[in-house]
């Protein structure tokens, strides 16, 4: 059978003629196109492989680009105080690039500016630190957030990670002053704060804060100089003038003429509104009640014919100076059960005048109320307490409020309910409210830390240890809680036989600040009755890093280790009102 004849050319689509050659040869006029094909295919394969390898970076850059664009929109909304719009853009930016430092930092700063939950903002600051992207300013901002939560030990540990040269700057010294203040070392705190503020004497906010410090000075000449400085700030065109006016208005020595001048200054301030004016007017009427009738007549004449909403700042002023019957007279009764602002004024004025039965009847007969289920339960708790009903009934309403807030995943309301329960004399309900909220997995750590804060203020060592156990179990990476857990176990003598092993574990030991680790080793040696190890652990250990309770423990350990003189020097400077019972026992050994 004859092989088919090869044609020197074969027609291509659209009649394009392409030379064809046998393998390993070329035509007289041909070109090795198969090599081009092979080479081109190789390039495509290489490009595909390179794209696959580079895809994560390309994807990250793309999402980063989108996130940065959203951040710009968020910042623009923030400039004009469109808070919800800004929040939406920040949320979208985080969804695009949740590990980009600019996005994380922007959200943390936004939360600080809007006074959001510090526990939540702390998570973003900590994320920056964990990424290794935190600047010195980020660390200072994180430390400031710890101070908001009264966590001076954590703030001090973070401050220690800042380069030494930057620890003497104004922001770092302000953090140091805040730490000292929480630790009860108020005189030292004031000294450090003055040092910080004097670094920027022309800054209006620094001048304002210095005036606040000087007003507490017992010397009248220092107080007078502070008041003169406040007047200068009040008359000036800076961001401190409204705060200066408010501080001056609190001064008991101001005359009616002084108040009249402040009102004139406020009138010409473009940043001031009716709420600022009525706040100042209320301060004046508190100091000079003889002027009340004339002022009321004048203000009510000016409000005649205006909308009910325009009256709200005036009614709030009346409420602030305990003119509750007048508030009830002025309220538009057809709106009090419909609009939240009027309802709040109505409730507070009835409560202040102890008209609890009237209030209960009003809310029971209303078809709807302009408040949330948690707030209604809180109101029922207040009414029950006002009517003298049992503590069990009041607590039940408080816990109902916490359950409603938890169901709505409203962590801020849970915290508020807890604080109200505590202020009403129901500390158990306050703790239970937080523990109810802690059933929300995403908020468990934050609310358990709030429980820990209350237990700390109550000096409840056993309760603190139980909560710390829950915290460490929930998130083992919370090293500062692990450190506190070990400290309390040693303080209470719980599980002391297992602690030396834990302290020798590099994963645990390396996460604890060196000074604290040294103190824990000393406490462990003391519990094991090993005096040689105790003395070794105490060598060169100074109290500078420690909180009052830790300094009390250190003094007792020093005495046990055979250094009573140094033990007494430390112990006599410790304020025992801030101590846990176990810490007080150590202090007693040194005195």
The H-or-E segment that residue 373 falls in is helix 373-386
- The three-state secondary structure class of 197 is helix
Residues 6+ apart with CB under 8 A from 3: none
Query: Strand pairing partners for 17?
Result: 11
For the question of whether the overall pTM of this predicted structure is more than 0.75, the answer is no
Q: CA 415, CA 405: separation in Å to the nearest integer? A: 10
- Work out the average pLDDT over 507-522: 85
Closest alpha carbon to 136 in 181, 107, 171, 111 = 171
Q: Would you call 455 exposed, middle or buried from its count of C-beta atoms within 10 A (0-12, 13-18, 19+)?
A: buried
Count of Cβ atoms closer than 10 Å to residue 553 Cβ? 30
The H-or-E segment that residue 473 falls in is helix 461-474
Count of Cβ atoms closer than 10 Å to residue 489 Cβ? 22
pLDDT of residue 91: 85
Cβ 209 vs Cβ 193: under 8 Å: yes
Q: CA 568, CA 570: separation in Å to the nearest integer? A: 5
Positive or negative CA dihedral for 21, 27, 30, 36? positive
Task: Give CB contacts under 8 A, 24+ apart, made by 395-400.
Answer: 395/421, 395/426, 395/428, 395/429, 398/424, 398/426, 398/429, 398/430, 398/433, 399/429, 399/432, 399/433, 399/436
Q: Please provide residue 242's backbone torsions phi and psi, each rounded to the nearest 5 degrees.
A: -65, -40
Exposure b/e, 201-233, CB count within 10 A at least 16 = b? eeebebbbbbbebbbeeeeeeebebbbebbbeb
Lowest-confidence pick of 9-18, 186-195, 213-222, 526-535: 9-18
In which band, very low, low, confident or very high, does the pLDDT at 16 lie, cut at 50, 70 and 90?
very low
Query: What are the C-alpha distances in Å from 441 to residues 117, 121, 148, 435, 454?
Result: 16, 17, 23, 12, 20
Q: CA 13, CA 414: separation in Å to the nearest integer? A: 75
Q: Which residue has the tokens 């001090």?
A: 156
- Work out the average pLDDT over 399-421: 93
Q: Residue 308: pLDDT above 50?
A: yes
Q: Which residue has the tokens 């301030």?
A: 269
Residue-wise DSSP of 494-510: -STTTHHHHHT-HHHHT
Q: Give me 28's structure tokens.
A: 């007289």
Over 21-74, what HEC string results? CCCCCCCCCCCCHHHHHHHHHHHHHHHHHHHHHHHHHHHHHHHHHHHHHHHHHH
- Work out the average pLDDT over 509-516: 82
Residue-wise DSSP of 217-245: -S-HHHHHHHHHHHHHHHHSSSTTHHHHH
Q: Where do the domains of the chain lie?
A: 498-590
pLDDT in tens, 156-172: 988 988 998 898 999 99
Percent of the chain exceeding pLDDT 70 equals 90
Closest alpha carbon to 70 in 98, 95, 90 = 90
Cβ 374 vs Cβ 404: under 8 Å: yes
% helix, strand, coil for the chain, step of 5? 70, 0, 25
In which band, very low, low, confident or very high, does the pLDDT at 2 lie, cut at 50, 70 and 90?
very low
Query: Strand pairing partners for 10?
Result: 18
The mean of the pLDDT values for the chain is 86
Q: Residue 541: pLDDT above 70?
A: yes
pLDDT of residue 116: 79
pLDDT in tens, 251-260: 888 899 999 9
- The three-state secondary structure class of 18 is strand
The H-or-E segment that residue 11 falls in is strand 9-11
Q: CA 529, CA 537: separation in Å to the nearest integer? A: 13
pLDDT in tens, 433-457: 999 999 988 888 888 988 988 888 8
Max CA-CA distance within the chain? 130
In which band, very low, low, confident or very high, does the pLDDT at 514 lie, cut at 50, 70 and 90?
confident
Q: Give me 128's structure tokens.
A: 């920056």
Closest alpha carbon to 166 in 184, 139, 185, 147 = 139
Cβ 365 vs Cβ 399: under 8 Å: no
Q: Residue 6: pLDDT above 50?
A: no
Q: CA 369, CA 358: separation in Å to the nearest integer? A: 15
Task: Find the DSSP H helices in 80-168.
Answer: 83-96, 101-113, 118-130, 136-148, 152-159
Q: Please provide residue 17's backbone torsions phi and psi, each rounded to the nearest 5 degrees.
A: -90, 120
pLDDT of residue 25: 43
**Alpha carbon 304 to chain centroid, angstroms:** 43
pLDDT in tens, 186-218: 889 999 999 999 999 889 999 999 999 999 888
pLDDT in tens, 65-113: 788 888 888 888 888 778 888 888 888 888 887 888 888 888 888 888 8
Query: What are the C-alpha distances in Å from 259 to residues 223, 235, 578?
Result: 19, 13, 41
Count of Cβ atoms closer than 10 Å to residue 406 Cβ? 22
């Amino acid at each position: 059978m004859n092989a088919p004849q090869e044609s020197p050319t074969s027609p291509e689509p659209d009649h394009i003629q392409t030379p064809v050659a046998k393998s390993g040869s070329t035509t007289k006029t041909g070109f090795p196109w198969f090599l081009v094909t092979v080479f081109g295919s190789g390039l495509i394969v290489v490009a595909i492989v390179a794209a696959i390898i580079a895809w994560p970076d390309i994807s990250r850059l793309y999402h980063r680009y989108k996130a940065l664009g959203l951040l710009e929109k968020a910042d623009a909304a923030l400039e004009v105080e469109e808070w919800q719009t800004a929040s939406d853009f920040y949320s979208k930016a985080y969804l695009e690039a949740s590990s980009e430092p600019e996005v994380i930092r922007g959200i943390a700063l936004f939360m600080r500016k809007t006074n959001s939950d510090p526990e939540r903002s702390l998570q973003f600051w900590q994320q920056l630190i964990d990424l290794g992207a935190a600047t010195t300013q980020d660390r200072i901002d994180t430390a400031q957030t710890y101070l908001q939560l009264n966590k001076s030990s954590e703030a001090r540990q973070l401050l220690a990670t800042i380069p030494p040269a930057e620890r003497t700057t104004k922001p770092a010294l302000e953090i140091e002053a805040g730490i000292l203040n929480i630790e009860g070392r108020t005189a030292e705190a004031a000294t450090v704060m003055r040092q910080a503020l004097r670094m920027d004497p022309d800054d209006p906010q620094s001048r304002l804060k210095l005036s606040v410090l000087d007003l507490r000075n017992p010397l009248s000449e220092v107080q007078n100089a502070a008041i003169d400085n406040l007047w200068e700030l009040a008359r000036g065109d800076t961001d401190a003038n409204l705060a200066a006016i408010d501080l001056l208005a609190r001064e008991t020595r101001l005359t009616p003429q002084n108040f009249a001048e402040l009102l004139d200054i406020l009138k010409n301030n473009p940043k001031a509104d009716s709420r600022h004016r009525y706040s100042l007017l209320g301060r004046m009427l508190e100091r000079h009640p003889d002027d009340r009738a004339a002022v009321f007549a004048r203000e009510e004449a000016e409000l005649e014919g205006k909308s009910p909403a325009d009256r709200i700042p005036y009614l709030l002023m009346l409420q602030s100076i305990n003119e509750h019957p007048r508030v009830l007279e002025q309220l538009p009764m057809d709106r009090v059960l419909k609009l939240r602002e009027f309802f709040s004024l109505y409730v507070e004025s009835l409560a202040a005048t102890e008209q609890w039965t009237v209030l209960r009847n009003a809310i029971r007969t209303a078809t709807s109320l302009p408040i949330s289920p948690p707030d209604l339960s809180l109101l029922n708790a207040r009414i029950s307490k006002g009517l003298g009903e049992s503590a069990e009934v009041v607590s039940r309403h408080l816990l109902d409020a916490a359950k409603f807030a938890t169901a709505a995943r409203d962590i801020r309301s849970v915290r508020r309910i807890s604080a109200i329960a505590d202020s009403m004399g129901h500390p158990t309900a306050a703790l239970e409210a937080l523990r109810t909220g802690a059933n929300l997995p995403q908020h468990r750590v934050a609310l358990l830390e709030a429980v820990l804060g209350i237990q700390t203020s109550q000096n409840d060592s056993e309760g603190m240890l139980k909560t710390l156990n829950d915290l460490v179990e929930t998130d083992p990476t919370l090293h500062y809680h692990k450190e506190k857990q070990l400290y309390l176990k040693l303080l209470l003598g719980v599980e002391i036989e297992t602690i030396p092993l834990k302290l020798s574990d590099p994963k645990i030991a390396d996460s604890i600040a060196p000074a604290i680790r040294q103190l824990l080793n000393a406490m462990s040696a003391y519990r094991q009755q090993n005096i040689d190890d105790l003395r070794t652990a105490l060598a060169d250990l100074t109290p500078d890093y420690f909180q009052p309770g830790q300094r009390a423990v250190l003094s007792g350990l020093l005495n046990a280790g055979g250094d009573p003189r140094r033990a007494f020097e430390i112990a006599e400077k410790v304020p025992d009102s801030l101590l846990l019972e176990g810490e007080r026992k150590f202090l007693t050994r040194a005195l």
